Copies of this chain bind each other. A is one copy, B any other.
Amino acid sequence: MKSMKFQIHKKSTKTKARTGEISTLHSTFQTPVFMPVGTKATVKTLSPHEIDQLGAGIILSNTYHLMLRPGADIVKEAGGLHNFMKYSGSILTDSGGFQVFSLAKLNKIDDDGVTFREHIGGQYIRMTPESSIEIQNKLGADIIMSFDECAPYPCDEKYIEKSIKRTHNWAKRSLEAHKNIQNQAIFGIVQGGMYKKYRKESAEYLASLDFPGYSIGGLSVGEPMELMKEILDSTTDFMPIEKPRYLMGVGSPLELIDGALLGVDMFDCVLPARLARHGVILTEHGRLNIKNQRFMRDFTPLEANCNCYTCTNFTRAYLNHLFRSDEILGLRLNTIHNLNFLLRLMEKLRKAINDGVELEFRDSFFSTWGDGKYTL
């Protein structure tokens, strides 16, 4: 694969965790990695240079949103997503499927594709594996996704059986439709609902298609966390060792750690940035709400010993003031802190895996996180 290289540095002997490195034409980053989400060609509130400073290495952007606005052709005319948004790191795009099922109205699925009314102007749009890949080729991200059906939760066995057949057919068609293999690596998406046998079947079928990497879809869709972990565990068991594994839309600090221990290499989630915009700050002692009156005269940083721009320059009192005053700078500074918190967490997690102490790291993180120092 010229478009992407994945190299494993260390495989744990105690858990399924591993550390590694992914190189695309735009950047090299260490795994397990957390990817900040830049839905509409911008990581909300941040400039691309601030993303660089955070050291993210890779961000995610959403095909569904970009195809509606500004449209894939405009992004292509701009020279692709990297040029359009002026981000020089790696970019991953999803297939658009997830948003078609969650945001669009009146979607109608058949074996060939999906017809839906998009949520902005209400236009009818037809989307197929071929059109999703064509759009993603125009957007030009380093890593792209096959088109899949993300089944709802809960969902009966019969529907899942039918649905993964469709997803597998679409994966094959996506792979065949992908024209830009020199620059873009395509991942197949494992589905199967909460049924271990279908997860196994899906993982094994997709592995047979020899994608450069694999995503795990249809998790973190409302099921209990313990069930998610159980299904994830039984999914990664059947995924190729030597290919990167991406758990889509996950997650919280606890889920990132547990996901990595179950063998996941890549994660993305809107949560840390969304929480930040609501004034909820991630710290190693759990979440705190910067709006809280007790921070009005607190002249310490959001988190002691944090190296982010926000914590090295500003106090909780100032951030409390900005938030209460509806000032945009507050949203920016909170976002920088929360993303930095997760990126540093992944750094510590990688070190723990490399040192063979990931279980101890997990225990230590969980107990500090849950020490009740902050209650929202």
Contact = CB atoms under 8 A, between A and B. Distances in A.
Interface of A: 40-42, 44-48, 65, 69-70, 74, 77-78, 84-86, 296-297, 299, 313-315, 317-318, 320-322, 324-325, 327-329, 331-333
Contacts of A324: 69-70
Given A317-B74, A318-B78, A69 B325 contact: yes
A41 B332 contact: no
Copies in the complex: 2
A86 B70 CA distance: 37
Contact of A331 (B48, B77, B328): B328
A299 B77 contact: yes
A270 to B, nearest CB: 14
Contacts of A328: 44-45, 328, 331-332
A307 B310 CA distance: 27
A69 B47 CA distance: 28
Given A86-B314, A314-B86, A321-B70, A327 B77 contact: no
A46 to B, nearest CB: 7
Contacts of A332: 47, 328, 332
Nearest to A336: B47
B313 A74 contact: no
A85 B318 contact: yes
Given A313-B86, A317-B84, A328-B331, A322 B42 contact: yes
A46 B329 contact: yes
Contacts of A78: 299, 315, 317-318
Nearest to A310: B47
Nearest to A86: B313
B297 A74 contact: yes
16 contacts: A40-B321, A40-B322, A40-B325, A41-B318, A42-B322, A42-B329, A44-B327, A45-B329, A46-B329, A47-B329, A65-B325, A74-B296, A77-B297, A84-B315, A85-B318, A86-B313
Nearest to A65: B325
Contact of A296 (B41, B70, B85, B315): B70
A332 B328 CA distance: 9
Given A47-B333, A86-B313, 5 more contacts: A40-B322, A69-B321, A70-B317, A77-B297, A84-B315
Contact of A84 (B41, B77, B318, B327): B318
A175 to B, nearest CB: 30
Contact of A327 (B42, B48, B299): B42
Most buried by B among A44, A45, A325: A325
Q: Which 5 A-B pairs have the closest CB atoms?
A: A70-B321, A45-B328, A40-B325, A42-B329, A42-B327
A258 to B, nearest CB: 32
Given A77-B299, A299-B77, A317-B70, A327 B85 contact: no
A47 to B, nearest CB: 6
Given A325-B40, A328-B332, A320 B70 contact: yes
Nearest to A331: B328
Nearest to A40: B325
A297 B46 CA distance: 23
Nearest to A68: B325
Most buried by B among A40, A84, A329: A329
A86 B74 CA distance: 40
A46 B331 CA distance: 11
Contacts of A299: 77-78
A260 B10 CA distance: 67
